[in-house]
Amino acid sequence: MSQPSVSPKGDENLSKPQTETPRPKKKGKSLPPKLIIKLGKFVWTTMWHIMMSNLAPRNKEGAYIRPSSQFRNFVGTEHGNPHQPEAGRYNLYVGLGCPWAHRTLVVRALKGLEETISVSVVSPSPTEGGWVLNQEEEGCRTLAELYQLAEPDYSGRSTVPVLWDSKKKAIINNESAEIIVMLNSQFNEFAKNPTLDLYPEELREKIDWWNEKIYHSVNNGVYRCGFAQTQEAYNQVCNELFATLDEIDAALETSRYLCGDRVTLTDVRLFTTLFRFDVAYYGLFKCNRRRIQDYKNLGGYLRDLYQLPGVASTCSLESVKQDYYGNLFPLNPGGIIPSGPDMTSLLEPHGRQSIGNTSGVVIS
């Protein structure tokens, strides 16, 4: 019997797998996760407050304080007024996403002033830090340059809307509440709907009462929610906002519009906020207790106003989403623009034609 062959010792060692003693892993020098989170929160919160202080001035309680408009002149026929009503002389500078500028477009459409007063569109630019003209006008590329052209020493905010006198190269007014009063009354000789009075004498007391309430709690209230910098400031204004929306909804139970069976400036002023509510304010501005479409009467009221002649053409959903979600960096750092909501529901029947109708002047 032959003996089994035995490999030399060296060959035997080669046939066995070689193993090495694992080296100890070096310990990283990263901060503990809790400390990273704490540091990140501190840095972001500090930066957020700095950015918000420029975007939205606040008081010591952290509540948003809207600065006042600075140009407050008027177009009128009174003797000595340098800004007399004329067709083709005046221009509106507007941002399509801005609710304050949107008011002027709605009144311009309702009165039929499209051929009398021209419109120039500006867009917000985060890199420029303000509004940029979609095309150069009056030798200006930005709205700030237009303000400087009108008032070389001006150092305030450059906001929309602007009612511009192209003959005088002057800003007449940049307060939307006053511009829409002028559009309603001072251009009737050129208007297609001169008999439409959105601020009738017999309703002015009621209109002014609603305007005051709606401005503070709703028009500016949504901004006070979105720009609040303390929980206490937010809680207070959020309660005011929805208390007023509840009050409006109750009033609309027996009245087609806020001041009766005819559209007034109050409805216009409220409409531009309601149009943006479910799109932007509900989510981005934390006004999320209830959507407008969830209200018994406000949803139909919004559809009613949207379907008035010429109004839908003033509404740009994509501009609203771009301006709010794309440009308000402190509120939406990622800049992601939501795909919804579906606003085709605004074209559905509103069923409000017969509510409180006393055979007054009604736009249908």
CA angle 354, 359, 361 (to 5 degrees): 100
b/e 217-242 (16+ beta carbons within 10 angstroms → b): bbbbbbbbbbbbbeeebbebbbebbb
pLDDT at position 147 is 96
User: Which phi and psi (to 5°) does residue 334 adopt?
Assistant: -75, -20
pLDDT at position 233 is 94
pLDDT at position 204 is 98
**C-alpha 312 chain-centroid distance:** 17
Which fold would CATH assign to domain 201-347? Answer: Glutathione S-transferase Yfyf (Class Pi); Chain A, domain 2 (1.20.1050)
Residue 20 CA to residue 29 CA, distance in Å, equals 27
For 319, the token pair is: 């501009």
The reported pTM is 0.85
Q: Say what angle helices 265-276 and 298-306 make with each other, to 10 degrees.
A: 110
Around Cβ 55, how many Cβ atoms within 10 Å?
Answer: 13
* Active-site annotation holds for 223: yes
Which fold would CATH assign to domain 90-185? Answer: Glutaredoxin (3.40.30)
For 186, the token pair is: 């001072």
pLDDT in tens, the chain (364 residues): 444 444 444 444 545 555 566 666 665 566 668 877 776 766 656 555 555 555 566 676 766 666 677 888 999 999 999 999 999 999 999 999 999 999 999 999 999 999 999 999 999 987 787 899 999 999 999 999 999 999 999 988 899 999 999 999 999 999 999 999 999 999 999 999 999 999 999 999 999 999 999 999 999 999 999 989 899 999 999 999 999 999 999 999 999 999 999 999 999 999 999 999 999 999 999 999 999 999 999 999 999 999 999 999 999 999 999 999 998 888 888 899 999 899 999 999 999 999 987 544 445 5
pLDDT at position 217 is 98
Q: Which of 170, 345, 192, 161 is nearest to 268 (CA)?
A: 161
Q: Where would I find the H helices in the chain?
A: 9-15, 33-55, 99-111, 143-150, 176-185, 204-214, 221-226, 231-251, 265-276, 298-306, 317-321, 327
For 64, the token pair is: 């948003």
User: Given 64, 90, 98, 287, which residue is catalytic?
Assistant: 98
Residue 210 CA to residue 273 CA, distance in Å, equals 14
pLDDT at position 128 is 81
Q: Got the DSSP string for 75-114? A: ---STT-S----TTSEEEEE-TT-HHHHHHHHHHHHHT-T
Around Cβ 290, how many Cβ atoms within 10 Å?
Answer: 16
3-state SS, residue 207: helix
pLDDT at position 6 is 47
Around Cβ 207, how many Cβ atoms within 10 Å?
Answer: 19
End-to-end CA distance of the chain: 117
Query: Which residue type, as a one-letter code, is found at position 282?
Result: Y
Domain edges within the chain: 90-185, 201-347
* Active-site annotation holds for 98: yes
pLDDT at position 2 is 47
Burial of 274 (0-12, 13-18, 19+ CB in 10 A): buried
User: Given 223, 257, 281, 324, which residue is catalytic?
Assistant: 223
pLDDT at position 17 is 54
Around Cβ 281, how many Cβ atoms within 10 Å?
Answer: 25
